[in-house]
Structure 1
Amino acid sequence: MIELPEAFKKKMKGLLETEYEAFLESYEKERVQGLRLNPGKAEAKEFLAKTSFHLTKIPWAREGYYYDSQERPGKHPYHEAGLYYIQEPSAMAVVELLEPKPGDCVLDLCAAPGGKTTQIAGHLLGEGFLLSNEIHPARAKILSQNVERMGIRNAVVANETPERLAERFPEFFDKIVVDAPCSGEGMFRKDEEARSQWSPDHVVMCAARQRQILDHAAQMLKAGGRMVYSTCTFSPEEDEQTIETFLSDHPEFEIEDMGTREGLSPGRPEWGNLSMETLRKTYRIWPHISEGEGHYLAVLRKMGKDEGTWKRKVPKYLKDKAVWKEYEGFCRELFTEPERYLDREEYILFGDQLYLLPPQMIDLAGLKVVRPGLHMGTMKKNRFEPSHALALSMKEEEAVRRFSMKADGMEAVCYLKGETLRIGEAKNCDLNGQKGWVLMTVDGWSLGFSKLAGGILKNHYPKGLRWMGGTVFVY
């Protein structure tokens, strides 16, 4: 039996009235589990043909699926290859309403742990620019790790305040997600900490903070751009009333009508001073109505037309000829089409770490940046060592040398545990007599690097990610 705060139950009974008992009963049901496929890695048809997971479609998410609670997709080689992201189903609705398109410049303002960021990247398909920001340093690190695992090439991860970003990116973005920090009422079924921290005063504090965040986000959106505001709470103070205040303070914005969406309920007119017509355009996900946790969503459009007058300050790209010579040699050894990487100028060196920036990124000076782009690798004495992020961003056909493994075979498990592999023991391997970097793949999807010499594949799977004994679930 989940113990809900008494003040919360009293509040929800007053708000829901005849629906309250059904709402309360939903807390006794097992919560649903979801994963979202990564279209940057694999097409759904191909993945579904290979996986043994029991998946059913989530109605409001293009790549979203419920999975059986007895399965463990987080302990599978496909997870390590970034083929999917395990995400609460309701949270997947936000990016579906944002509708990012390849080529867009998008901001995920409160992004950790990375569900919405990786979903946005899946819509961009490598074209355009994604700035993913998280104000808390530890959470920003987790966000960066998820960006890496999903093989995202065109994202920058920042650790900044909304205010400082607004100063650097005025009217820069085509689309923005503000998944605002909230009182977390929608997560009470799965999050004991959210229940213990809740209070009416906490709701009021969250609402004030949300309005400040929205004000800064508004400054960064281009005229004609779209912004989705979302929370995982039920409180009207944080939802309809926050939107009411925002629209009053920002007459250049309006709520955009995205139409009826399966599983998403319209807003409640009696919970704010917004008109019935306006309330009809906002959305809620209720745990007693839909298969997901509580969520609120509103789509805001900034009226007018973008004049395109703002000019970005270009970063200082790599000019070191010695570094470039080493990197060029590496590219010609590893890639089947090295010019795809060598015909780019957007490289920067952070210490001895080489990154490829998205072309739209502004000068980084003065910004707290965790991941300035695609991490290519490390410059070491007289050689270049590729990063794990680069491996995960690659497709099998991009690598000159690759070693194929099966998800249900022991080779993949041994590799993920950090063990050395001998190619003489492998079937259908044509690497005999060769040496150099090898892309390791599982069922055709990139998993990491090894270095081949003398018939032995030296394992370069990151030590911090390696599987330990007793944690392997392969179906």
Structure 2
Amino acid sequence: MNLPEKYLTTMKDMLGNEFDEYLESFNDNRLYGLRVNTLKISATDFLKISPFRLKPIPWIENGFYFSENDKPAKHPFYFAGLYYIQEPSAMTPANVLPINEGDKVFDMCAAPGGKSTQLGAKLNRTGLLITNDISNTRAKALLKNVELAGIPNLMVLSEDPKKLIHYYNGFFDKVLIDAPCSGEGMFRKDSKLIKSWESNGPEFYHEIQKELLLIGADMLKPGGMMLYSTCTFSKVEDEQSIRYLLNNRPEFSIIDIKDYSGFSHGYEDTVEDTKMNFSKMVRIWPYKMSGEGHFVALLQKSVDRELINHLDSPALKAKLPAELIQFMEAVTYPINKDEIEIIDDHVYVIPKLAGNHKGLRMLRSGLLLGICKKNRFEPSQALAMAMKMDDYASSINMTISDPNVIKYLKGETIEIEEIKTAKPAGWQLICVDNFPLGWGKLSGTTLKNKYCASWRWM
């Protein structure tokens, strides 16, 4: 691999006699990982039904390596949201950040959504997850992934974080910043990043990271925790960025991350670094662990600052159309009717915790229940993914070997003779091995396919 001389010189200075081991790691095979979505199934139960050759990722409780020959993105369980495909080291930041049920959590640079789906699973349908990416294109991929994961208590934004500070100052219990970076830790995985590094190196990203860290710090409530991560090795983007934060927000301190054999620690090059406990930060090196390069720092804000109170949104208490009420009679999934808001015929359950969000560029506010159309209600794909099979009165459950599963995921109409007398006409929650995939509308033995067109099996 044609690595830049400037980069090699810096790495040799950092690694010393371990430099050759690092270079040798470029000859290793690429690693593939998936993380089980514990919002839908436990890791133990997933292993009982998994068709893949999985090996545990030792430091991620619900993470597994899979074989290059497996194709988990082409399996119905992927479309059921049972797992997220993610590079093993990239699972570390959201795994490390402690999340309590009921927390208000912010993922600042979230696309494509791997860390957000992990945070949402930890919240277990409680509290609030606000997930954001400044790129509208990337935020659309983020929206799909968090809805596929079945996360209902969320807001999906596409905003400049500088704007969000005016809405959420001192608001969040937890903040995750997986910062834009030069990507040195991913050179082995994606050699195209090397050319990008030559155009915009560590100093370029350091300026962005400094700004994001201060914004994240100010959005955190006293006593809250912030996780900063990069997929780069550069001290400029890692230790120097944290040093900048601590010098400008002295109410923050670095706290311990549960150790794992193979974790390396932050560099303490000065007395100041030692006083700031840089050794508590974690580095993942690809020649020491089975994953790509990563840097993780967990920080906490002291509690001796004035607490800023944020008013919750008032109860919306929208007048519900008769067709929506009729549909909801068949639903046992817990829906707070006081949190329902109807916007341009779209019906949402918007968490009151979200506060004032008017004026923000928003892709999704809460859980989209569906759309009211000319005296009828059409439930959404997002609602199906948030449900369990028993949350709706009438469902069609297919086995994983049923060819109709793939037909359904491709958007095809399905003829199902055996359910003619067993199921009433109308909406059906379509499932595979008890896990929802989406909706269909039954008429006789014909199932009209309502699977989301943009999600279809290609």
TM-score by length of 2: 0.96
Determine the C-alpha separation between the residues in 2 that align with 1:272 and 1:383.
Answer: 68
Deviations 1:66-111 (A, max 9, x none): 1111100011000000000001111111012111121111100110
Task: Report SS of the residue matched to 2:338.
Answer: coil
- Does the 8 A contact of 1:284 with 1:297 survive in 2? yes
Which structure ranks higher in relative contact order (CA pairs < 8 Å, sequence separation ≥ 6)?
1
Determine the C-alpha separation between the residues in 2 that align with 1:444 and 1:271.
Answer: 57
Residue 263 of structure 1: how far off its partner (Å): 3.4
* 1:463 matches 2:456: no
Determine the C-alpha separation between the residues in 2 that align with 1:430 and 1:39.
Answer: 35
Deviations 1:28-76 (A, max 9, x none): 1111110000011112222111112111111221211111111000110
- Does the 8 A contact of 1:375 with 1:390 survive in 2? yes
Question: Counterpart of 2:324?
Answer: 327
Determine the C-alpha separation between the residues in 2 that align with 1:406 and 1:433.
Answer: 17
- Does the 8 A contact of 2:313 with 2:352 survive in 1? no
Residue 3 of structure 1: how far off its partner (Å): 2.4
Task: Report SS of the residue matched to 1:228.
Answer: strand
Determine the C-alpha separation between the residues in 1 that align with 2:396 and 2:177.
Answer: 41
Question: Counterpart of 2:174?
Answer: 175
Residue 197 of structure 1: how far off its partner (Å): 0.8
- Does the 8 A contact of 1:59 with 1:263 survive in 2? no
Determine the C-alpha separation between the residues in 2 that align with 1:284 and 1:167.
Answer: 33
Question: Counterpart of 1:434?
Answer: 424
Question: Counterpart of 1:291?
Answer: 290
- Does the 8 A contact of 1:236 with 1:272 survive in 2? no
Question: Counterpart of 1:270?
Answer: 269
Question: Counterpart of 1:234?
Answer: 233
Determine the C-alpha separation between the residues in 1 that align with 2:172 and 2:253.
Answer: 17
Question: Counterpart of 2:439?
Answer: 449
Residue 189 of structure 1: how far off its partner (Å): 1.3
Residue 363 of structure 1: how far off its partner (Å): 2.3
- Does the 8 A contact of 1:60 with 1:92 survive in 2? no
Task: Report SS of the residue matched to 2:429.
Answer: strand
Letter in 2 for 1:329: Q
Question: Counterpart of 1:354?
Answer: 347
Question: Counterpart of 1:158?
Answer: 157
- Does the 8 A contact of 1:134 with 1:158 survive in 2? yes
Superposed CA RMSD in Å reads 1.8
Q: CA 1:330–1:46 in 2, change beyond 3 Å: closer, same or farther?
A: same
- Does the 8 A contact of 2:81 with 2:149 survive in 1? yes
Question: Counterpart of 1:22?
Answer: 21
| Contiguous gaps of at least 5 residues in structure 1 | 469-475
Deviations 1:237-260 (A, max 9, x none): 000111111111111000112242
Letter in 2 for 1:239: D
Residue 192 of structure 1: how far off its partner (Å): 3.0
TM-score by length of 1: 0.92
- Does the 8 A contact of 1:315 with 1:363 survive in 2? no
Determine the C-alpha separation between the residues in 2 that align with 1:224 and 1:91.
Answer: 26
Task: Report SS of the residue matched to 1:92.
Answer: helix
Question: Counterpart of 1:186?
Answer: 185
Deviations 1:414-440 (A, max 9, x none): 11111222221x4xx475362110001
Q: Percent identity?
A: 41
Question: Counterpart of 2:397?
Answer: 404
Deviations 1:358-416 (A, max 9, x none): 23111221111111111111111111101111111110111111111122321211111
Deviations 1:91-141 (A, max 9, x none): 111012111121111100110000000000111110111000111110111
Determine the C-alpha separation between the residues in 2 that align with 1:161 and 1:373.
Answer: 20
Letter in 1 for 2:439: F
Determine the C-alpha separation between the residues in 1 that align with 2:128 and 2:293.
Answer: 30
Determine the C-alpha separation between the residues in 1 that align with 2:300 and 2:360.
Answer: 28
Letter in 1 for 2:274: S
* 1:243 matches 2:233: no
Task: Report SS of the residue matched to 2:277.
Answer: helix
Task: Report SS of the residue matched to 1:178.
Answer: strand
Question: Counterpart of 1:374?
Answer: 367
